[in-house]
Amino acid sequence: MKISRGLLKTILEAAKSAHPDEFIALLSGSKDVMDELIFLPFVSGSVSAVIHLDMLPIGMKVFGTVHSHPSPSCRPSEEDLSLFTRFGKYHIIVCYPYDENSWKCYNRKGEEVELEVVEKD
């Protein structure tokens, strides 16, 4: 799986803008490249973000989730692991200071997976 550099920059900027609160969104795109965010209503604070998955339109292609941690740890919490098992295959956590080295991707089991960062035409 791949993620576009543009989407990664957008995610990092969204996390910076939300700081010190968390933000959460869904990852979408085409074929094997994540290059879009889907924003649904969510509630967030400095220790959690809850997205209303029941408001996702039918038929939307969703690869997984992305959310931020306002701390310097990208390690998934128990709540994160619960979300991972319920929705999507890829789950990105971005953490403070929200630079290009401050993110990790996990699978449904909470195991770290590599995403290739690509330029999107």
CA distances (Å), origin 18, targets 30, 65, 110: 27, 16, 24
How is residue 106 written in tokens? 């996990």
How is residue 43 written in tokens? 């509630």
Number of Cβ atoms within 10 Å of the Cβ of 100: 11
27 forms beta bridges with 37, 64
Does the annotation place 52 within a ligand binding site? no
Does the annotation place 67 within a ligand binding site? yes
| Contact between 80 and 104 (Cβ < 8 Å) | no
Annotated binding site for Zn(2+): 67, 69, 80
Annotated binding site: 67, 69, 80
